[in-house]
Structure 1
Amino acid sequence: MFAATTLWLFIGTSLILILIPGPDLIFTLTQGITNGKKAGVITAMGLSAGNTVHTLAAALGLSLIIKTSVTAFTIFKSLGALYLLYLAYKSIKHRKEALQLDGAAEPDTKGLLLKGVLMNILNPKVAVFFLTFLPQFVNYSAGSVPLQMILFGLIFIGLTAVIFSAIGYFAGGFRKIFLRSPRSNEIMNIAAAVIFSALAVKLLTMH
């Protein structure tokens, strides 16, 4: 359906874009450091799963509404910013709760997956990215355009899952370093709240 050179160009470009620091990457790092390796990996899987919505939306042309309608775009990015502010509030609220390094409870798998999916879906920048990025690699004379976009989207999702999972896992390896002092967990949560708040402001001011 598409040439090998196009496929490799897409993979190479995707790898570079995935590694550029953004809200999803920062969220994965934060979860990995504060809640452990498993939490980092689970969060990465949730964020990757959220990309399926943007892939389908781009393939079906729904993202065009977000790009061209000021009202839709404003509502979408406002919801995303509110969710980031909610995460900041939770970090501040639980900043003094100590983390147990030994015998700690298993991470809330369902909750972390849901957080990752929601954070990704409610980011209009991702929706616009998929709309503008995927079509550049489509061969319009080689079959169904939506199907090609979905296939490219699935490749991008797979790469994101692998890279983000690795980042979340190895970030968790630094957990003990950040938790050596009694106040380290509080500091990490405050830092996370600042990051989430800053990302919310950036999202709200995005045009």
Structure 2
Amino acid sequence: MIDRTTLLTYLIVLAGFVVIPGPAVLLTLARASGAGVRTGLATCLGIAIGDLIHTAAVVIGLSAVVMTSALLFTIIKYAGAAYLVYLGIRAMLERSSAAALIASAVIEARVALRQAILIEVLNPKSAMFFLAFLPQFVHPENGAVSLQLVVLGVLFVLMGLMSTTMVAVCAGRLSGLLRRHPAVMRWQGKAIGTIYCALGLRLALQER
């Protein structure tokens, strides 16, 4: 099972993602501010379902890899670390328009749910992120890799759902804040980029 130190580190990292607006938060904000809390909550649920599907795909795929080759699993972890650093640098350099990100048409809750699931499941960046992120906290010597991945994935989904739910409920206030302060988006990109880079470097420093 996951050791206490690794689990605590993982929860701290997840807390960082919760307090910093990411793509899921912005999508929820767009839906809730444009069509109301119910549609925002439907979007939250859709994103969570999509992330659970990504988690299942990672569990099935990486468990098979570990059974085949421990070396290959290590290679995947390092490749994932490099990808996280790449995402971090890109996030810090990108410039976003807050107005464009929160612009949204009014849609019904059931439509928002279907759209959120499809957006999350079909987003290759989300798939790559899960593949790169979860293995950084998995240690084969701690037991079944599949069980560790399930625990990590479910914790990620639950904390993400908590975050987006709060945004959906408080959408009006947050929407106004982003419209009045575009600089928040620039800060958000740099903060998320720093977390990504730190995650990527963490593995290399730990393994040496």
TM interval, shorter chain, is 0.5 to 0.7
Partner of 2:31: 31
Shift of 1:122: 1.2
Q: Give the TM-score normalised by structure 1.
A: 0.59
Aligned residues of 1:25 and 1:164 also touching (Cα < 8 A): yes
Distance (Å, rounded) in 2 between the aligned partners of 1:126 and 1:15: 18
Q: Which runs of 5+ in 2 are unaligned?
A: 66-75, 80-99, 180-208
Shift of 1:138: 1.0
Aligned residues of 1:58 and 1:131 also touching (Cα < 8 A): yes
Q: Which runs of 5+ in 1 are unaligned?
A: 69-87, 100-106, 178-187, 189-207
Partner of 2:54: 54
Shift of 1:151: 1.2
Distance (Å, rounded) in 1 between the aligned partners of 2:15 and 2:125: 18
Letter in 1 for 2:60: L
Alignment of 1:195-206 (within 5 A): none
Question: How many positions carry a matched residue from both structures?
Answer: 142
Aligned residues of 1:35 and 1:172 also touching (Cα < 8 A): no
- Listed one character per residue, the Cα deviations across residues 159-181 of structure 1 (whole Å, up to 9, x for unaligned) are 01110010111004578x7xxxx
SS at match of 2:141: coil
SS at match of 1:2: coil
Shift of 1:33: 0.6
Aligned residues: CA RMSD: 3.0
- Listed one character per residue, the Cα deviations across residues 63-109 of structure 1 (whole Å, up to 9, x for unaligned) are x9xx99xxxxxxxxxxxxxxxxxxx9xx89x6xxxx8xxxxxxx733
Distance (Å, rounded) in 1 between the aligned partners of 2:55 and 2:168: 23
Aligned residues of 2:47 and 2:120 also touching (Cα < 8 A): yes
Larger Rg belongs to: 1
Distance (Å, rounded) in 2 between the aligned partners of 1:24 and 1:10: 19
Q: Give the TM-score normalised by structure 2.
A: 0.59
Partner of 1:169: 169
Name the % identity. Answer: 32
Aligned residues of 2:45 and 2:161 also touching (Cα < 8 A): yes
Shift of 1:26: 1.5
Aligned residues of 2:32 and 2:171 also touching (Cα < 8 A): yes
Partner of 1:10: 10
Distance (Å, rounded) in 1 between the aligned partners of 2:145 and 2:174: 44
SS at match of 2:143: coil
Alignment of 1:123-138 (within 5 A): 123-138=123-138
- Listed one character per residue, the Cα deviations across residues 4-53 of structure 1 (whole Å, up to 9, x for unaligned) are 22112111112223444443222110111111112112211111111011
Partner of 1:111: 111
Flag the structure with higher helix content: 2
Aligned residues of 1:37 and 1:168 also touching (Cα < 8 A): yes
